[in-house]
Structure 1
Amino acid sequence: MDVGGGVWSVPVPIPGNPLGYTLVYAIESPGGPVLVDAGWNHPDAWLALTDGLAAVGMDVADVRGVVVTHYHPDHSGLAGQVRERSGAWIAMHEADIALVKLFRDVVTDGTHKDFQSDMLRRAGADSHEVAEAVAMRPEPPALPDLALTDRDLIDLPGRRLRTIWTPGHSPGHICLHLEDADRLFTGDHVLPDITPHIGIYPYDRSDVDPLGDFMTSLERVREFGPIEALPAHEARFADVSSRAAEICSHHEEKLEHLRALMAADPQPRTIWELAARMTWNRPWDQLPAMLRGMAAGEAAAHLRTLEVRDVIERTADAPVRFVIHS
């Protein structure tokens, strides 16, 4: 789709995922197109990307670079193949590059299953749930060439595309402000109808607050005002500021629901127990193992924010338990 101003969107499928596709954006420049994200690493996705670019007169071999909004496989997966075909650079925020390096190391040395199993057990998952969850793991993405930091300008001749660091969905998630057209590529940070997954991994970390970071990042995006958003899923939409405010309110409501749930049953509970009592898009016992793991990560993020706000505290038990302040 021609979204105007020398920007094109290509829907790249995510096999077996209810999101359906990742919107990869191609930005024209005199030095060749730069892609925002690349899509999932799968033959069908590669065909969709290359055919989609060809349909608007672009050859993947001419791609100048790929800016990855975050390391997740539906955004970074095909970046390595684009680089192999074109010689393009791959850019990502330095915080997510650190995670890519970590994932590549643990996959190489075979410790990733032990790491994941231990994380799930410490959260309170039983042995059957652990075995199911560790069976699924996508391959890590290609290692980027360029490390980005907040406010960096992207190598895009004749245009101004600036990095806006928006941690939360991942530690190094970025939005990209196309300053010459005043539009914002939002990745997964701000989507028109759904909210991105915000989790903590390992679940029991006490040195980070990704939900707090996410909500601070949403406030930063609100400062752009009612400009058009070009997200990585669903469809482009007007007024990124209003949507960011709605997402902030959604998480405040979720935090209050979790606080009330804990107040109604004030005994110490594990992350897994509390996740099972929270409201998801389907009942807990109908969630497959991978989605239970993600739900536990999101529960952990909300618990951590309540802890930072001094509403709850963790006990010294193993697995870790949380209790509301009396």
Structure 2
Amino acid sequence: MRATSPAQYAAFELGAVPPVEQLRDGVWSIPNPMPGQSNGLTSTLCYLIEGGDGALHLIDPGLGHDAGYDAVADGIARTGHAVSELASIVVTHLHTDHLGLAARLRAESGASLVLHRREQWAIDHADELGTPLDAQLLDEWGVPAERRAELLAVPSTAGHPVAPIRADVLVDGGGELPIAGRRLRVVDTPGHTPGSMSLVDDESELVFTGDALLPTIHPGIGLGGTVSNPVGDYLRSLRTLEEHDDYEACPGHEFRFTEVASRCRTTGEHQLRRSREVAAAVVDSPEATVWQLASRLHWTAGFAQLRDFYLRSALAQTQMHLDFVRSPAAAEFLTPASAAPVDA
């Protein structure tokens, strides 16, 4: 993985918001600040594209706060354009740090909002797709009595809230965005969320990855409800993105980069390492609960130090990987020795 924007990389190292940059003719990167993030992210990277007819199209507008609006509007002005010229707002996935500003920009410009069809479905069914944390689930996970109140107190919206919204245009993998004079292909890259998509500009050799692939962070998975197993979905998405190794990756955060295939393999290995850990623990203790399995896995902070949302996330991740290694899909990615017995 090699950074391709010295200015974005310098801002990343300083923990600062990067500047507006022009990537290609008619293509710019515009940051929307993310203040106070515990994960170290400083901004969402939005991408402004000018069509052959002069109309503007914005990918992932970012958070909907006033400072974010001002930053995006100012960024568009720096390119010699205005918010009123927006013809479409394209969002790669349902998280508010990508979708939050869309409604305000749509109202001001009359632009069409574009989402993947499966992501709109996930937004509409957010209450059904989430995993309700209740006493029954805590029983199933084997959570000790003294830790239950702590987990039950975690708000259901913690982590990655879903922004309720209705798109004007729904797209599917294999289709193209309606941008005059350009061909931006829609590529299915689920796993981070159920309908996450990436966008490929073959002529400019750019791939807009949203949060499906980032240069330093390993994106979380299943963060928008689960339809199928997010682990298997995500690993297949990385294989799809590997095909664009010669392209410049334009991610939703941090900085642009090349050597996409290498980054995909590193990111996939991060997920498979957790799956192998779970598989090995299941072989040693077939009857172990999710809590017991999670306590045997490697966590950066150490399992004993995990609290509140982070503990809940660790248990949910363990369940996802357990479901994966017990599924037929594991055979695609894990050697027989590292896969747990498949559930009947």
Using structure 1 for the length normalisation, give the TM-score.
Answer: 0.83
Structure 1 SS opposite 2:24 = coil
**Other-structure match for 1:319:** none
Shift of 1:268: 2.5
2:125 and 2:277 map into 1 onto residues whose CA distance is: 35
1:152 and 1:129 map into 2 onto residues whose CA distance is: 45
Match of 1:128 among 124, 129, 149: 149
The reply on whether 1:43 has 2:36 as its aligned counterpart is no
| C-alpha contact 2:83 2:109 (8 A) present in aligned 1 | yes
Match of 1:234 among 254, 258, 261: 254
Query: Taking structure 1 as reference, are residues 310 and 174 closer, same or farther at Cα in structure 2, changes over 3 Å only?
Result: closer
| C-alpha contact 1:6 1:28 (8 A) present in aligned 2 | yes
* Structure 1 residues not aligned, in runs of 5+: 312-323
| C-alpha contact 1:198 1:297 (8 A) present in aligned 2 | no
**Other-structure match for 2:122:** 99
The reply on whether 1:80 has 2:103 as its aligned counterpart is yes
- Tell me which of the two structures has the higher relative contact order, counting C-alpha pairs closer than 8 angstroms and 6 or more residues apart: 2
Match of 1:58 among 70, 81, 104: 81
Which deviates more from structure 2 when the two are superposed, residues 4-13 or residues 269-278?
269-278
Aligned length: 306
Query: Taking structure 1 as reference, are residues 149 and 229 closer, same or farther at Cα in structure 2, changes over 3 Å only?
Result: same
Structure 2 SS opposite 1:249 = helix
1:153 and 1:273 map into 2 onto residues whose CA distance is: 46
Query: Taking structure 1 as reference, are residues 112 and 307 closer, same or farther at Cα in structure 2, changes over 3 Å only?
Result: closer
Query: Taking structure 1 as reference, are residues 22 and 310 closer, same or farther at Cα in structure 2, changes over 3 Å only?
Result: closer
2:77 and 2:194 map into 1 onto residues whose CA distance is: 34
Shift of 1:254: 2.2
Cα deviation code 1:75-107 (max 9, x no counterpart):
11111111111111111111110111123xx5x
Query: Taking structure 1 as reference, are residues 68 and 114 closer, same or farther at Cα in structure 2, changes over 3 Å only?
Result: closer
**Other-structure match for 2:326:** 307
Query: Taking structure 1 as reference, are residues 51 and 280 closer, same or farther at Cα in structure 2, changes over 3 Å only?
Result: farther
* 1:152-167 pair list within 5 angstroms: 152-167=175-190
The reply on whether 1:26 has 2:48 as its aligned counterpart is yes
Using structure 2 for the length normalisation, give the TM-score.
Answer: 0.79
Query: Taking structure 1 as reference, are residues 285 and 42 closer, same or farther at Cα in structure 2, changes over 3 Å only?
Result: farther
Query: Taking structure 1 as reference, are residues 268 and 69 closer, same or farther at Cα in structure 2, changes over 3 Å only?
Result: same
Structure 1 SS opposite 2:263 = helix
Identity %: 32
1:201 and 1:45 map into 2 onto residues whose CA distance is: 23
Query: Taking structure 1 as reference, are residues 12 and 284 closer, same or farther at Cα in structure 2, changes over 3 Å only?
Result: farther
Cα deviation code 1:16-48 (max 9, x no counterpart):
322221111111122421111111222222222
